[in-house]
Amino acid sequence: MNEPLGIILKMLKLVRFARIYGWQRALNKAIARTRPHWLRRRISYRRKATISVIGCGQFAFSSVCFFLRRHCQNGFLSAYDVNRQQAQSLGHYYGFREIAVTVDAVLNHPSLAVLYILSNHASHAAYAIAGLQRNKIVYVEKPIAVTRDQFIELSVAARQSSGQVFAGYNRPYSEAIQVLKPYVITQKTAGSFSLNYVINGHVIPPDHWYRRPDEGTRICGNIGHWIDLTIHLFAWRSLPDWIAVQIAYANPDEPDDNLVITFTTDQHDLVSMLFTSRAEPFEGVREVMHLQYNDLIAHIDDFRQLTVHQGAKRRNWHFTPKDVGHERAVLQPFCADNRAWHEVELSTLLMLFVRDQVLTGQAMSRFDVPAELRRLEADVEHLIASPSTVSF
């Protein structure tokens, strides 16, 4: 691609992003990607700095810190990243009080109250455990763990801490889902869900860090979002006793790309997730969701539009800027009305179950909900009785 054409496409993308997210956030996303050399330290005039960040990449810059600066009274304390340049650019742009040299410097700072963990997936659980062991409020980006052992240790830390933990799964906090919820929970009789998701994901190269064996595959990195949303929707009614999982793989050599995952349950639910990444979406991840529950039919188009049909009635909502729930999810530590943590625990167990199925190339398996929850509690109790240590 020649340089003038490349510049034109970048400008076009910026304009398209501005129409979707608004100019302020679109420009912020552009700065997050380019990290220009002219970024200089801002002076923060906020009264008290209590919020620290571990992991200063694209999402931290363009979303998390963007929303925190907009809504929170308290300021930014410490920024840390294994890539010091990333930490410096984020810290300077948002007016962090310090660029930490070590994780210990972040975790042991006497003014730390709220810790945001936005690092690579395999490190999420260990950082969250360390924060909870210090009784801090911890926001941990998805996935909250990429192995069962990590998840059990995190569950132990959450139960033993006087702090709190929140997960970065954002779709349940989107405006479209919030508008849809009353239509489901006010149904006079319980029904069965028919859910269909079509997700056009990013194309990632073979050497992308998502591909590392210890990072949990794209099941943890991407598809966990829709597994989590499905559990959240089930919880509006009641959770099933079992979930049968069927997976069709387009390419066995890349089993976590271009696949269809189907759930069926004892409550006659039918859920289909098609995840494909054959071409890069120009405007980022694009997703469509179709739901039927009793006489309710709903369609969500890329979290920009919701259409609800119920009998002869039809209603439409348009969401500008596009709202996939990032803003409200990021603000969980400062809000009272948050989703139940047990939903995140169950969705994580199911996500890890699906990941294991993908890694072994299985086509069919069954997830027993009560048995898996009992197993988790037994493992947590065992670890409490014979603790291991995670320290920084």
CB 146 within 8 A of CB 215: yes
CB 287 within 8 A of CB 223: no
Structure tokens belonging to residue 166: 């929140």
Sheet holding 305-310, edge to edge: 313-318, 305-310, 296-301, 286-293, 193-200, 270-276, 259-265, 242-249, 364-368
Structure tokens belonging to residue 155: 């569950």
CB 170 within 8 A of CB 227: no
Per-residue pLDDT of 219-257, as tens digits, reads 999 999 999 999 999 999 999 999 999 999 999 999 999
Residue 70 counted as domain residue: yes
Average pLDDT, the chain: 93
Report the distance separating Cα 272 and Cα 175, nearest Å: 22
In whole angstroms, what separates CA 211 from the centre of its chain?
18
Please return the burial class of 7, using the count of CB atoms within 10 Å of its CB with bins 0-12, 13-18 and 19+: exposed
Phi-psi region of 311 (alpha: psi -120 to 50; beta: other; left: phi over 0): left
CB 55 within 8 A of CB 83: no
How many domains does the structure of the chain reveal?
2
Q: What is the CATH number of the domain that holds 66?
A: 3.40.50.720
Residue 391 counted as domain residue: no
Predicted pLDDT at 54: 98
Per-residue pLDDT of 55-78, as tens digits, reads 999 999 999 999 999 999 889 999
- 177 and 250: one domain? yes
- Read off the pLDDT band of 323 (50, 70, 90): very high
Residue 392 counted as domain residue: no
Q: What is the CATH number of the domain that holds 194?
A: 3.30.360.10
Share of the chain above pLDDT 70, in %: 94
Whether the pLDDT of residue 37 is over 80: the answer is no
- 18 and 153: one domain? yes
- 48 and 133: one domain? yes
- 108 and 16: one domain? yes
Report the distance separating Cα 85 and Cα 14, nearest Å: 24
The range of the structural domain enclosing residue 304 comes to 171-385
H-helix or E-strand spanning residue 130: helix 124-133
Contacts of 148 (CB under 8 A, 6+ apart): 352
- 152 and 188: one domain? no
Contacts of 267 (CB under 8 A, 6+ apart): 190, 192, 237, 238, 240
- 276 and 314: one domain? yes
CB 93 within 8 A of CB 31: yes
Of 167, 199, 218, the one marking the end of a domain is 167
- 223 and 318: one domain? yes
In whole angstroms, what separates CA 62 from the centre of its chain?
15
- 37 and 175: one domain? no
- 48 and 87: one domain? yes
Residue 69 counted as domain residue: yes
Contacts of 49 (CB under 8 A, 6+ apart): 74, 75, 76, 77, 96, 97, 111
Whether the pLDDT of residue 324 is over 80: the answer is yes
Residue 86 in 3-state DSSP? helix
Predicted pLDDT at 24: 87
CB 40 within 8 A of CB 92: yes
- 114 and 180: one domain? no
pTM of the model: 0.94
Report the distance separating Cα 77 and Cα 44, nearest Å: 10
For tokens 């859910």, the residue is 195
Residue 228 counted as domain residue: yes
- 119 and 211: one domain? no
Residue 114 in 3-state DSSP? strand
- Read off the pLDDT band of 45 (50, 70, 90): low
Per-residue pLDDT of 254-288, as tens digits, reads 999 999 999 999 999 999 999 999 999 988 899 99
Phi-psi region of 120 (alpha: psi -120 to 50; beta: other; left: phi over 0): beta
Report the distance separating Cα 34 and Cα 13, nearest Å: 14
Of 144, 167, 190, the one marking the end of a domain is 167
- 349 and 212: one domain? yes
Residue 342 counted as domain residue: yes
Of 141, 167, 193, the one marking the end of a domain is 167
Please return the burial class of 134, using the count of CB atoms within 10 Å of its CB with bins 0-12, 13-18 and 19+: middle
